[in-house]
């Protein structure tokens, strides 16, 4: 009789633990479903950039002309060659970063690649820009300091 009583109590405890376990598993399943839905929403928004934004991007506070004028006023851009390279980079810099290879800048400015390299070094040395890594194809990434 005692043994049966103990077995019945053990069965009741097992049933209670099983019920708790099932409840916790159900909560875990719901949480994981919410996480999966959120990740799916994020993935879809990354596939369709800027479609969800109905407002246009605000204009940058600093214009390329303002940037060049500031550099020229501080005597950071000292030669026409440096000014030409700076003018090539300025529109991209005010939007965030410039990703141009030497060949591209050389083609746009009509300067030799060696001269473009010298001008870029001068802009870096004078603190007009700083280099933040390179792209996959080896183009340096320049940003405003």
Total-model pTM: 0.57
Structure tokens at 70: 């500031």
Name, in order, each residue with C-beta under 8 angstroms of 93's C-beta and a sequence gap of 6 or more.
Answer: 64, 67, 129, 142, 143, 144
**Tens digit of each residue's pLDDT (9 = 90 or more) over 84-104:** 999 999 999 999 999 999 999
Reported confidence tier of residue 121, pLDDT bands at 50, 70, 90: very high
Of the candidates 92, 98, 93, 71, the one whose C-alpha atom is nearest the C-alpha of residue 82 is: 71
**Tens digit of each residue's pLDDT (9 = 90 or more) over 50-78:** 554 555 555 558 899 999 998 888 877 77
Mean pLDDT of the chain: 86
Of the candidates 43, 37, 88, the one whose C-alpha atom is nearest the C-alpha of residue 67 is: 88
Count, in order, helices (H) and strands (E) of the chain. Answer: 5, 3
* CA pair distance 113, 82, nearest whole angstrom: 13
Domain spans, the chain: 1-57, 64-143
- Considering the four listed CATH numbers 3.40.50.1370, 3.40.50.720, 1.10.10.10, 1.20.970.10, the one that applies to the domain covering 64-143 is 1.10.10.10
Helix or strand run (H / E) with residue 29: helix 2-47
Instruction: Specify the pLDDT at position 130.
Output: 94
């Amino acid at each position: 009789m005692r043994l049966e009583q103990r077995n019945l109590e053990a069965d009741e405890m097992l049933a209670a633990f099983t019920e708790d376990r099932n409840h916790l598993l159900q909560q875990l399943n719901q949480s994981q479903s919410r996480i999966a839905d959120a990740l799916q929403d994020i993935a879809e928004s990354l596939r369709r950039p800027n479609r969800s934004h109905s407002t246009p991007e605000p204009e940058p506070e600093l214009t390329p002309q303002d940037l060049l004028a500031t550099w020229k006023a501080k005597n950071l851009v000292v030669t026409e060659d440096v000014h030409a390279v700076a003018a090539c980079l300025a529109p991209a810099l005010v939007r965030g970063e410039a990703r141009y290879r030497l060949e591209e800048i050389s083609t746009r400015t009509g300067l030799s690649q060696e001269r473009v390299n010298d001008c870029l070094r001068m802009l870096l040395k004078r603190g007009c820009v700083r280099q933040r890594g390179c792209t996959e194809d080896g183009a340096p990434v320049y940003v405003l300091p």
